Amino acid sequence: MEGLIPFCAKCALLLPYRHRAGWRRSCCSMPMKLIHRLIGSLIAAAALAGAAHAQNVRILGRSDPVPTGGFAIQWPSSGFEATFDGPTLKATIFDWGSNWLNVEIDGKTSPLALEEGSRTYTLFDGAPGRHTIRVTRRTASNVGITRFENVEAAGLHPTSAPDHRIMVIGDSFASGFGVEGVNEKCAYSHQTQNADLAFPALLGRTFGADIHVIATDGRGLIRNWTGEDPTMSTLAWQTLPDGATSWTPQSYKAQVIVVNLGTNDFTASDPGESFDAAYVFMLRRLRATYPDALIVGSIGGSLWGKRFAAARTSISDAIDLVRKEGDANVRFVEFKLRSGPGRYGCDYHPGQRAQIEMAAALEQEISNSLGWTTTNRAAD
């Protein structure tokens, strides 16, 4: 059944989806000591969940509730925001040991590498008084689920939600793959990925908007970089990529939806009419789900020549078609990026300069279409 995780009585539910392709071969051959240790970590993490959890913080992005009161995240830029009284704030977090977070306290951000299993982290140890914390995921959804079991601090309260809401459906460009790399020749690592420097987060800060980043590295609309399933046609409608629940759109009424898909579909070759039909279907489904939202289809960044021309034509033609059907609130944005320092991060992905230019192109379209004013420009 679509969206369900393959189940193995021993351990399948412990496997992130990046391991599922070979679960029948590898899952049941795992040593029982390792299986028991993983299960024990999950049980222990659940037991540690305390009274200060989801209702005391503002959850950012899509999340699944944890039965004991916490919440699980997986999409980039998801996390939580809250105000609290110092001098300390601690969080109990379960992770597979590969994810990184950004911890922002009163406007100052530091990276945090999560360890495997359930751990209690001191996220703030400083001055008394009122403070604001924002914790977001730097790494992509491919790295597995992160679960916040408990957040503990005096006077913990959720921040107020902003008036503007933006959802981005994309790939590694939207998750900040390699954005902190020195150039296109560097190899990807979790340390060089930073969703906070990718165009969705920049766009959110520009408009003071809440953002949902629904992006997975290497995924396309109908065809992925590696050829494996699922594609974003499926994942975009799930709460979490590794979860078993469908997303409830009513819980987040996006006012702007940016679709930045096609790079992985067209990397090897032109997927042809199958892509055209899938893109039109995606636009129609988004419109039926979000009747009042501005929908922006975008492309550009790491495709060249005939492949870029084919992708651009397919996407712009799909948008023209739904506009002719009567949907005037759909736009097309091409990312025309300049050369020079900061153009590329690792593995020919957009670097910091390119991400700023992508955000600026979308900012202009959104401002022109909706009249939104900027509160904080990403950069000049």
Do the domains 54-158 and 165-370 sit in the same CATH topology, yes or no?
no
- CATH level 3 topology of 165-370: Rossmann fold (3.40.50)
For the chain, the residue count is 380
Residues of the chain with pLDDT under 70: 1-54, 338-342, 347, 377-380
Q: What is the pLDDT of residues 3-32, one digit of tens each?
A: 333 333 333 333 443 343 433 333 444 444
Instruction: Report the predicted TM-score, pTM, of the whole model to 2 decimal places.
Output: 0.85
pLDDT tens-place string over residues 171-186: 999 998 878 787 877 8
User: Domain 54-158 in CATH: superfamily?
Assistant: Galactose-binding domain-like (2.60.120.260)
Classify 36 as helix, strand or coil.
Answer: helix
The pair of structure tokens assigned to 146 is 């992160």
Look at residue 53 in the predicted model and tell me its pLDDT: 52
Q: Which residues, including other chains, have CB under 8 Å from residue 15's CB and lie 6 or more apart?
A: 5, 23, 27
Residues facing 102 on adjacent strands: 111, 136
SS3 assignment, position 156: strand
Q: Where in the chain are the domains?
A: 54-158, 165-370
Peptide bond into 65 cis (omega under 30): no
What's the confidence (pLDDT) of residue 192? 86
- Give the pLDDT score at 16: 43
- CA distances (Å), 138 to each of 35, 196, 297, 371, in order? 28, 6, 24, 30
Radius of gyration of the chain (CA): 21
Q: Tell me, what's the pLDDT at 184?
A: 78
CA proximity to 212, closest of 245, 170, 182, 180? 170
